[in-house]
A = this chain, B = another copy of it.
Amino acid sequence: MSRAWILKSRPAGMPGPDNIALVDLPSQPLAEGQIRVANRWLSVDPYMRGRMNDVKSYVPPFQIGEPLQGGAVGEVIESANPAFAVGDKVLHMAGWRDEAVVGPEMMPQKLPALGVPDETFLHNMGLTGGTAYFGLLRCAAAQPGDIVFVSAAAGAVGSAVVQIAKLKGMTVIGSAGGPDKVAFVKELGADHCIDYKAGPVLPQLMAAAPKGIDVYFDNVGGEHLDAAFATARQNARFAICGMIDVYNDGKPQEMKYLIRTIPARIMMRGFIYTDYMAEFPVWQQEMAGWVTSGQMKARTTVMDGLDSTLDAFLGLFSGANTGKMLVRL
């Protein structure tokens, strides 16, 4: 017997008990290639809301009557796959349940023995840390001495960008909304942090970076991106990770400074984490060193017990979390 959150119906607006329910599922025998995993940590993320709709996106929608999915870390308790032994710790996508039957479609990966806490594979050692690392160092090819601007700098990805950039000898200017988040970004080591809720971005960025910027790590698009075009120095590089400003409205982005692409020879490029899959071992090795030495921090909000998963998820949208939201089983 296992317990899992299933999608009962597609929500309009925020999901509630009519849409998502915790149910008992009969234990099923393993097919060849599958493993049974006792989950220890579950990740809840804003992108999961999109998968509750019946709309094609980066990832396919959740299916009605089926368990929800998401990043999870657990321990193998039964194996019908020679690559995994009982007792192995694995990262996989069969979250939202206490015990998971994990086939190849759930992308199980053994946690490398790097001496870091298991749950870090759901943030700094996982998607958010890898997105920060590869976006900054590969997509934007940021170098020591560069002046780096990062939006949503208090977020899970942005706060990793701030720390990695400082560890690599860069000057960092963050942007965040409100004094608490600004203070957090400075605690992480940012040289400056602008408060986009306190006034327009461009004059604040010009004051924080009077010589201009070499790198922009974009999580939001819109006004921040335009300010980056305005202040870009020669051969500036923009890594485009997200444009959360425009996910919900369909309004055009008004770009006044896009034309600086030519005189400043700006290079702008979109990426996602898995584009750099071949380099995951290199990144995880370096990141593990920073995590174990305490040079790389992550704020997490932890809720306990499978029953709390829906509240944890809904909390993402009501501001209940600071940093990465996790559920501990």
Which residues of A are at the interface with B, using a C-beta cutoff of 8 A? 58, 221, 225-226, 240-243, 246, 250, 252-256, 258-272, 275
Closest CB pairs A-B (n = 6) = A261-B270, A252-B254, A262-B270, A252-B256, A267-B269, A268-B268
Q: Given the known A-B contacts A254-B254, A256-B252, are A272 and B262 also in contact in the complex, defined by CB atoms under 8 Å? A: yes
Q: How far is the CA of A264 from the CA of B240 in the complex (A)?
A: 11
B275-A270 in contact (CB<8A): no
List 5 additional contacts besides A240-B261, A266-B268, A266-B270; criterion CB under 8 Å.
Answer: A58-B263, A253-B258, A253-B259, A261-B268, A261-B269
Residue in B225, B266, B267, B271 whose CB lies within 8 Å of A262: B271
The reply to whether A242 and B262 contact each other, CB–CB distance below 8 Å, is yes
Residues on the B chain within 8 Å of A242, using CB? 262
Give every chain B residue within 8 A of A256 (Cβ-Cβ): 250, 252-253
B221 to A259, Cβ gap below 8 A? yes
Residues of B within 8 A of A226 (CB): 252
Q: Can you name 14 A-B pairs with beta carbons within 8 Å?
A: A58-B263, A225-B258, A240-B261, A240-B262, A242-B262, A243-B258, A243-B261, A252-B255, A261-B270, A262-B270, A262-B272, A263-B272, A265-B271, A265-B275
Known A221-B258, A243-B258, A254-B253; contact A266-B269, beta-carbon cutoff 8 A:
yes
**CB-CB < 8 A to A275: which residues of B?**
265
**A253 neighbours in B (Cβ, 8 Å):** 254-256, 258-259
Distance (Å) between the CB of A200 and the closest chain B CB?
14
